[in-house]
Amino acid sequence: MSVLVGKKAPSFSAGAVINGKEVVSGFSLDQFIGKNEVLFFFYPKDFTFVCPSELHAFQSKLGEFEARGVKVVACSTDTEESHWGWLQVPKNKGGIEGVTYPLVADTSKTISEAFGVLAGEYEYDMEGRLEASGPMIAYRGLFLIDKNGIVMHQLVNNFPLGRNVDEALRMVDALQFFQENGEVCPANWTKGDDGMKPSFDGVADYLAAH
């Protein structure tokens, strides 16, 4: 599993469902470079149990992310058709009806692999045949990407462990506070708290480059 923090987020172009209903091709995070931060998260599978709780939790806070200029985008290894079908199922029946942010279809599994969250890998057997080991679906990965396309925060949970959306929002606030003030955020920092003056070259280098 790779660490992408401080590196350019992998570029991709894939099918997706946007606005909760429209299937599109060629969806890419590159469209947000220079314009918006992106909260890009992976979930294992459509039509499951923990996943809809997370998707609805991000939807419930979508207005807060948007107020900060942040785009929320989700991704799994399911197809666009599967995403669309799940979006037609009401929440009280296990569906994700009402989710409006984009759902990317990583059917080739290359996006999950590029972001280092693919559970499983491809290998060749003794006869030279390509095989897959593991479930070949995405762990619960989450990536906060700045306007320059650089990964600033990364979190990866195993399948049983759902994420805290308020913590994701706190990380957005911390990133934007740092960008606006040039001050770093100590442990348990929340919006409205004081920051600290940086005292190492890495912070100065980042600010100089961005």
Active site positions, annotated: 51
Beta bridge partners of 104: 16, 75
Residue 169: what are its φ and ψ, rounded to 5°?
-65, -35
* 127: DSSP letter: T
Report residue 114 CA to chain centroid gap: 13
- Which residues, other chains included, contact 164 with Cβ-Cβ below 8 Å and sequence gap of 6+? none
Residue 103, Ramachandran bin (φ over 0: left; ψ between -120 and 50: alpha; else beta): beta
d(CA 132, CA 200): 44
Token pair of 90 as six digits: 């009401």
Residue 142: what are its φ and ψ, rounded to 5°?
-140, 135
CB 62 within 8 A of CB 97: no
Q: 21: exposed, middle or buried (C-beta count within 10 Å: 0-12, 13-18, 19+)?
A: exposed
d(CA 173, CA 191): 6
**Amino acid at site 98:** G
